[in-house]
Structure 1
Amino acid sequence: MIRFGVRLSLAGGREAATRLVIIATAVALGVGMLLTALAGMNAVGAQNLRYAWLNSAVAPASTSADPMWWMVREDYFRGKSIGRIEVAALGPDAPVPPGIPHLPGAGEFYVSPALADLLHTTPAAELGDRFPGHEIGVIGRSGLPSPDSLLIVIGRTPAELEQLGAQQVTQIMTTDPSDCNGCFIGLNASAMTLTLSVVAASLLFPVLIFIGTATRLAATRREQRFAAMRLIGATPRQISVISAVESTLAAAAGTVAGFGLFLAFRPGLAAIPFTGEPFFTSDLSLNVVDVLLVALGIPVGAVVASWLALRRVQISPLGVSRRVTPRPPRAWRLIPLVVGLVELTYFIGRRPETTNGQITAYISGFVLILVGLVLAGPWLTMLGARVLAGRASRPAALIAGRRLSDNPQAGFRSVSGLIVALFVTSVATGTITTFVANRGEPRTDSVAATSLSKIFWPEDGPAPSVDQIPAGLSAIPGVRSVALVHVNPDRDGWQGVITCAELARLVVFGSCPANAQVAAVAGDLIGRRAFDQTSDDYVWGAANVASADVSRLPILSVVVDTSSQSAFERARTMLETAFPQGRFPASVGEWEATSTRQLVQFQQLANVVMLASLPIAGCSLAVSVAGGLSDRKRPFSMLRLTGVQLRTLRRVVALESVVPLLVVAAVAIGMGFLAAHLFLRAQLGYTLLPPRLPFYLMVTGGLAVSLGIIASTLPLLRRVTGPETARNE
């Protein structure tokens, strides 16, 4: 029977060949996406492991190596983070970080390739003068989390590092940051894996629908053929073998093609900075389990899908003639959807105290809504079809509406893959857009981005005197102002004071309240509430300090406002050189950029899900349309013989496809935005802000592509509904 099944699959004419090609294409897409997701998870782990050595400050003590002074700090250059590691060996057996042959001596440093390029192409006053000594080598790949990593390992004297507050270590950390207690540099691999899993599921769901739809292509004719075999003596097992052979052949070809797609696109995928940094191409690797899981699992899944699609013939050879209108879906399908919305609404004002409690509350609500959308899809399709039929003024709309309302499950099945993609994308877009607008990176033209501050924390040692502030700061071309903020004696932390006369001179940092002499300000003269201030319309509170006493208070910070990136970086370099202790100077925009950048990456992944899913859903619909035309050749041919125009039949087919697509898209996007709003209100107290124009353009463009794919099948009507079809059938 296997040989007979192969013969039927390969020599069954154009119809069989077309079905094999479509199934193989669908499987290739699924395999490629699944491999990408698995390789992405492996890449996150590989990249995270190369962050491990930067956490050596928390490495357990070792008695087999000499100690060394160790200090890791974060520097910035034009918005990019620079990892600055300063070391000093205290013996010949001091541990050596990966990627370099030995520890640099005082006045020497190793740099990553990306930072070396910057040093060679950037004026020294903007970057190079920050790093004492000279370059002696490049850090190798084993010490680089990413090809674009900006890292420098600087050699210092033990006395210098002891004065700077470094600590002694005797071992280089090798534990994955996700498994390390106290590690502060690296990725949350569990969160990344969860995100990639959601992305993979969102991408695979429409592909699986595509595979199932392709398997059902020309289902009626195949059922009739298999039923005829049953009537002449074929057993259910033999029919199962024949259908399994066809599915296995297509799945095997698609699996091979899917591996080829993955390998072809792997270099481009590695360049996507999903974690904030791109991967090395070799990071996107597959282990033996991954390969076997995909190579064996996909064909098995295709066989199961084929068996389910043709299960009526396997039950009875007369099953194909017993066609009745399915029972209409009931309103109970809306229950999970309503319960999910109620759950998210309940937690507004009742946010759980613990992180685990919040995850349980919100994730369960999102899952209930998503499950509810999938369950309610046929009911919503039936509702849309009945509205279409009830308001029909033309025969095409009436026929399409009646047919959809008779079997809404079939109409919804082809586009059900869109539910996950559009819901996930809408939730991510709505949440991230609102969060970034409220707490994200300030605008590039705001004072929060154009000014930098050096704050002198108590743990860094005594605050400097006015004479120690570099006089050359004001002379840098592009520096608009240099301000000193003094410690506020009435408040702890990084709160300071400044005279109202000085604040009036600075202009862009806000103003004093009426009749005040001294203002109570943030150490960086920005504060979270002043992110969007580009003029003097922000009013600080008054301080209980006399104006004459302000200059006698210790200096809390130096704040420099600039009009160009060159001036910004030159001022930073000058401050770092003058004050090498503690945290390096930075802008509020740079401090906020890391979390915002990660959120933007998540949103880009959500956009990828949507852009990939919409065309795939269009392909599923196109295959469904083509299969439906093949199954309805005789009825359509008879309609044409009775005088029904071809354009009317095309409208019928188009409406049967467009109505489910648009209903699903509208409901999924609306529910996604509603769920995002409820989450934002419950967790952060924010009100959902409308997404920006690119989101709507992507949705419109994706739907247009899907509709175009559907339209490409309509010319088939002329060929399959001619008079000869009615006569031959």
Structure 2
Amino acid sequence: MSARQWGRDLGMGLRFAFAGGREGWIRALLTAVGVGLGVALLLLTTALPGALAERDRRGDARLDYTFSDTIESPADNTLVIADTGTEFVQHDIRGRLVEPEGDRAPLPPGLREFPAPGDMVVSPALKELLDSDGGALLRDRLAYDIVGTIGEQGLIGSQELAYYAGAEGLAERIGDGMVGRIDRFGDPYQTEEETDPVLVLLVLVVFVVLLMPVAVFIAAAVRFGGERRDRRLAALRLVGSDGGMTRRIAAGEALGGALLGLVFGTGFFLAGRELAASFEVFGVSVFPSYLNPSPLLALLVAVAVPGAAVLVTLLALRGVVIEPLGVVRTARPARRRLWWRLLLPVAGIGMLAPMLGQGRENGGFNGYLVTGGVICLLVGVTALLPWIVETVVARLGSGSVSWQLAVRRLQLSSGAAARMVNGIAVAVAGAIALQMLFAGVEGDYTTETGFDVSRAQMQVRVPDGAELAAATAKLEETKGVRKVYALSEGYLGDRSWTKDPERSAELTIGDCVTLRQVAQLPSCADGDVFSLRGGEYDTDTPSLSRPGQKLYLEMSSAQDKAEEVVWTLPSTLKEAASVEDPTGTKRGGFLMTPGAVPADVAKAVRGELYLAVDDSVPDAREYVRNTAFAIDPLSHPATWAATERTQRFDAIRTGLFAGAAAVLALIGASLLVSQLEQLRERRKLLAALIAFGTRRRTLSLSVLWQTAIPIGLGLLLASAVGMALGAVLLRMTATPVSVDWPSILRMTGIGAGVVLVVTLLSLPPLLRMMRPDGLRTE
């Protein structure tokens, strides 16, 4: 067969797709919408790596490294900058105070000029939040005048909350850890993180799992309108075309729908690209300019989708006998064979088996074997599901009229029913496997913070030399605060800190009630001093606990020009046993009550406030942050949690959730299109049943059963394959295999919920089709 003949036959099919009258256009449009949705998500996926890289680039370009004072003296090109980031209703707000020290001070990316003291420049999203009714508490905290907005180059996402505010006198605070002097923005230390094989495996599996349902839906979309197409193919045989030519024409018709789908998909992608700037998914937002697909990957999509349309059509018709008087698909088909369908999952397990037990200690996982193995297992779902549906429905017995109508329809066209469910089954199987893998390895990336959240839930640092009692009183009066434990902390050495003391110990100052949170005190009165025993990693306190011993107080960089503070241990020194404090550690060193604190020591230590918060009070933590910001913008209230996860693990998990949301939206839209296409093909049948007196309720229930039976079987198969794949992936990471039943139930429930929503949305058009006038024809 020559290429010229192939081109002529495909071209004839293209003409049939767009010149076949109303029915041909409807089928082409349905195919184009189904393919277009898949193409849009594929283009989005090809653009995703570039979008994430651009977010990282912009984040690196604005780094200011306030934790390190690398420039000692002010100059014409230096800028003093302070980190004043905060939180609001579980949203992080990036905040900076800036004070230029010369005309050539580096301007932060996205700013045209420095804000004056008392003014601030904000991101568009933060301005919108501050202007909204829900931003009243935040307006109280950020009481600056808004004089402009941050440009796109200074933000990592369209919904990022950020601001730069002008300030004065910041140079006096350099060295306290939150204020620094810089002469440029950006990352001066371009170091690459060590690659974690398990995290790379997670990324590979996430991409395969998210893209497989898209491929399945595209393959199903190009087969829309199969029954009506059969009649056209029989007509072609009647006028003289042979079987091969007829199949090529059918492939050309599918090619026309796929090409139109590329156009639709490009339009959907461009519309979604602009719409993406309005949303934030799991804390991640992007600008439309981020979403530029790689030209090579976009070209691959443009070639692969039409090619897949032709290939899928030819494969679908390989066992169909097309004769001039009809298509022998309407007769009872031969029973599907099982043996070759089992080869795919077996091949998938075979690819993954060599990496069982590898873990993260034996190098990286083979990306090709991982990708191939996961694809084979997930494609195995699409191969096994038609056989399972056919085998089960063939054995279903009698029941109500709606049940019998549904079962008989499934017995005649079980393949079409399985195709509609394949995508959701693949998505659920992949999601179950990923949930098992995430749950299994989560412990490796989760650490206990040690914080005793039963005693305190927040921590506020008071600046060096600030009045601790006044700050404590303000926080105690704050709405939602139950208790404030106020401690002043510092370090003592056996000689001046300019000469690096040989021995050192902690110093903790507080009243008797608060000191009992850190030690067992034999007795306590204002003016007492205690030496602690049993502190973690504390070996120097016993040798320093001699009455009359002179100890030197460590000074912060901001205080290093002041006169050194020396404290002499009193003769009335008592002993106390250390206990776990609210931070979960046993501190050592010395305890002092306020009455024993010399004035120079009180000015040199820093205050730490531990707060018990009443979470039953709405916005209690926001009130605390507002009070802390009023005390000092650099106070940085910290919210405690019992555990914390590594950022890279959280980023991958966030990417999975964001991608899963997009895939679920595609699943729902594609299922709805598929359902409407099937109802359109059965319009005359439904009208005939109504004309003979069948109740609408009966027909509606039959349509529901036709969806529920295959989806139930598909979810059962997806659960089995997902658990098998999850177990294999866990064994690859050398993690004990455990079944995360809540996640499995949640994933299957989400899949069933999507199908239920689609079924409900298809009821209105179904009711419109159930009219006797649907029998009219031309």
Q: What's the TM-score bracket when you normalise by the shorter of the two chains?
A: 0.5 to 0.7
1:220 aligns with 2:230: yes
1:50 aligns with 2:50: no
1:568 Cα deviation after fit: 3.8
Q: Tell me how far apart the structure 1 counterparts of residues 747 and 99 of structure 2 sit (CA, whole Å).
A: 51
Equivalence for 1:128: 142
Which of 280, 284, 291 lines up with 1:273 in the alignment? Answer: 280
Equivalence for 1:668: 718
Which of 577, 580, 588 lines up with 1:521 in the alignment? Answer: 580
**Which structure 1 residue ranges, 5 or more long, are not aligned?**
507-516, 528-540
1:214 Cα deviation after fit: 1.0
1:599 Cα deviation after fit: 4.8
1:568–1:417: structure 2 CA closer, same or farther, 3 Å change rule? Answer: closer
Which of 72, 94, 101 lines up with 1:83 in the alignment? Answer: 94
Which of 534, 558, 580 lines up with 2:609 in the alignment? Answer: 558
Equivalence for 1:378: 386
Contact 1:474 1:482 in 2 (8 A): yes
1:601–1:168: structure 2 CA closer, same or farther, 3 Å change rule? Answer: same
1:159 aligns with 2:165: no
Cα RMSD between the aligned structures?
Answer: 6.3
Which of 172, 181, 185 lines up with 1:172 in the alignment? Answer: 185
1:258 Cα deviation after fit: 3.5
Moved more, 28-37 or 305-314: 305-314
Equivalence for 1:479: 481
1:470–1:355: structure 2 CA closer, same or farther, 3 Å change rule? Answer: farther
Equivalent pairs: percent with the same residue?
22
Contact 2:79 2:105 in 1 (8 A): yes
Which of 226, 250, 263 lines up with 1:256 in the alignment? Answer: 263
1:664 Cα deviation after fit: 0.6
Computing the radius of gyration from Cα coordinates, the structure with the larger value is: 2
After superposition, what is the alpha-carbon deviation per residue over 1:338-381, rounded to whole angstroms, capped at 9, x for unaligned?
Answer: 79789999999985447945999998875564244334323433
Amino acid in the other structure paired with 1:31: V
Which of 577, 583, 588 lines up with 2:640 in the alignment? Answer: 588
Contact 1:427 1:676 in 2 (8 A): yes
Q: Tell me how far apart the structure 2 counterparts of residues 291 and 343 of structure 1 sit (CA, whole Å).
A: 29
Q: Tell me how far apart the structure 2 counterparts of residues 53 and 616 of structure 1 sit (CA, whole Å).
A: 41
Contact 1:206 1:616 in 2 (8 A): no
1:204 Cα deviation after fit: 1.8
1:483 Cα deviation after fit: 0.5
User: Which structure has the highest helix share of the two?
Assistant: 1
Q: Tell me how far apart the structure 1 counterparts of residues 280 and 417 of structure 2 sit (CA, whole Å).
A: 38
Counterparts of 1:709-728 in structure 2 under 5 Å?
none
After superposition, what is the alpha-carbon deviation per residue over 1:523-545, rounded to whole angstroms, capped at 9, x for unaligned?
Answer: 54xx6xxxxxxxxxxxxx99899
Q: Tell me how far apart the structure 1 counterparts of residues 303 and 376 of structure 2 sit (CA, whole Å).
A: 32
1:587 Cα deviation after fit: 0.7
Contact 1:274 1:602 in 2 (8 A): no
Q: Tell me how far apart the structure 2 counterparts of residues 111 and 319 of structure 1 sit (CA, whole Å).
A: 69
Amino acid in the other structure paired with 1:210: A
Amino acid in the other structure paired with 1:164: D
Q: Tell me how far apart the structure 2 counterparts of residues 270 and 449 of structure 1 sit (CA, whole Å).
A: 42
1:86–1:364: structure 2 CA closer, same or farther, 3 Å change rule? Answer: farther
Amino acid in the other structure paired with 2:428: L
1:208 aligns with 2:218: yes
1:240 Cα deviation after fit: 6.3
1:485–1:672: structure 2 CA closer, same or farther, 3 Å change rule? Answer: farther
1:228 Cα deviation after fit: 3.0
Counterparts of 1:13-52 in structure 2 under 5 Å?
15-52=23-60
Equivalence for 1:609: 663
1:607 Cα deviation after fit: 4.6
1:318–1:422: structure 2 CA closer, same or farther, 3 Å change rule? Answer: same
1:434 Cα deviation after fit: 9.8
Contact 1:572 1:586 in 2 (8 A): no
Counterparts of 1:630-645 in structure 2 under 5 Å?
none
1:547–1:408: structure 2 CA closer, same or farther, 3 Å change rule? Answer: same
Moved more, 418-427 or 158-167: 158-167
Contact 2:107 2:114 in 1 (8 A): yes
1:690 Cα deviation after fit: 2.0
SS at match of 2:87: strand
After superposition, what is the alpha-carbon deviation per residue over 1:180-220, rounded to whole angstroms, capped at 9, x for unaligned?
Answer: 53699xxxx99999698457524523421332321634343
Q: Tell me how far apart the structure 1 counterparts of residues 730 and 510 of structure 2 sit (CA, whole Å).
A: 37
Contact 1:111 1:137 in 2 (8 A): yes
Equivalence for 1:537: none
Q: Tell me how far apart the structure 2 counterparts of residues 612 and 202 of structure 1 sit (CA, whole Å).
A: 12
Q: Tell me how far apart the structure 2 counterparts of residues 157 and 548 of structure 1 sit (CA, whole Å).
A: 33
Contact 2:507 2:590 in 1 (8 A): no
SS at match of 1:55: coil
After superposition, what is the alpha-carbon deviation per residue over 1:437-459, rounded to whole angstroms, capped at 9, x for unaligned?
Answer: 999999xxx96798320369xxx
1:139 Cα deviation after fit: 2.1
1:246 aligns with 2:253: yes
1:78–1:556: structure 2 CA closer, same or farther, 3 Å change rule? Answer: same
Moved more, 407-416 or 45-54: 407-416
Q: Tell me how far apart the structure 1 counterparts of residues 231 and 254 of structure 2 sit (CA, whole Å).
A: 16
Q: Tell me how far apart the structure 2 counterparts of residues 345 and 521 of structure 1 sit (CA, whole Å).
A: 47
SS at match of 2:111: coil
Contact 1:240 1:314 in 2 (8 A): no
After superposition, what is the alpha-carbon deviation per residue over 1:384-410, rounded to whole angstroms, capped at 9, x for unaligned?
Answer: 23542xx55789989987997898656
1:122–1:436: structure 2 CA closer, same or farther, 3 Å change rule? Answer: farther
Counterparts of 1:251-330 in structure 2 under 5 Å?
251-274=258-281, 276-285=283-292, 298-310=305-317, 325-326=333-334, 328-330=336-338
Amino acid in the other structure paired with 1:560: L
TM-score (norm 2): 0.64
1:604–1:233: structure 2 CA closer, same or farther, 3 Å change rule? Answer: closer
SS at match of 1:164: coil
Q: Tell me how far apart the structure 2 counterparts of residues 561 and 386 of structure 1 sit (CA, whole Å).
A: 64
Q: Tell me how far apart the structure 1 counterparts of residues 437 and 512 of structure 2 sit (CA, whole Å).
A: 39
1:549–1:67: structure 2 CA closer, same or farther, 3 Å change rule? Answer: closer
Counterparts of 1:82-121 in structure 2 under 5 Å?
82-89=93-100, 91-103=102-114, 109-116=120-127
Q: Tell me how far apart the structure 2 counterparts of residues 353 and 278 of structure 1 sit (CA, whole Å).
A: 35
Q: Tell me how far apart the structure 1 counterparts of residues 44 and 619 of structure 2 sit (CA, whole Å).
A: 40
Contact 2:441 2:735 in 1 (8 A): no
Q: Tell me how far apart the structure 2 counterparts of residues 110 and 23 of structure 1 sit (CA, whole Å).
A: 49
Q: Tell me how far apart the structure 2 counterparts of residues 311 and 355 of structure 1 sit (CA, whole Å).
A: 45
Amino acid in the other structure paired with 2:418: F
Contact 1:400 1:655 in 2 (8 A): yes
1:145 Cα deviation after fit: 2.0
Contact 1:377 1:416 in 2 (8 A): yes
1:8 Cα deviation after fit: 4.4
**Which structure 2 residue ranges, 5 or more long, are not aligned?**
1-7, 492-503, 519-575, 598-604
Counterparts of 1:686-701 in structure 2 under 5 Å?
688=740, 690=742, 698-701=750-753
Amino acid in the other structure paired with 1:473: L
1:482 Cα deviation after fit: 0.8
1:661–1:560: structure 2 CA closer, same or farther, 3 Å change rule? Answer: closer
Q: Tell me how far apart the structure 2 counterparts of residues 248 and 348 of structure 1 sit (CA, whole Å).
A: 42
After superposition, what is the alpha-carbon deviation per residue over 1:209-246, rounded to whole angstroms, capped at 9, x for unaligned?
Answer: 332321634343233233334xx366956x56644553
Contact 2:34 2:217 in 1 (8 A): yes
1:392–1:269: structure 2 CA closer, same or farther, 3 Å change rule? Answer: same
Which of 615, 620, 624 lines up with 2:674 in the alignment? Answer: 620
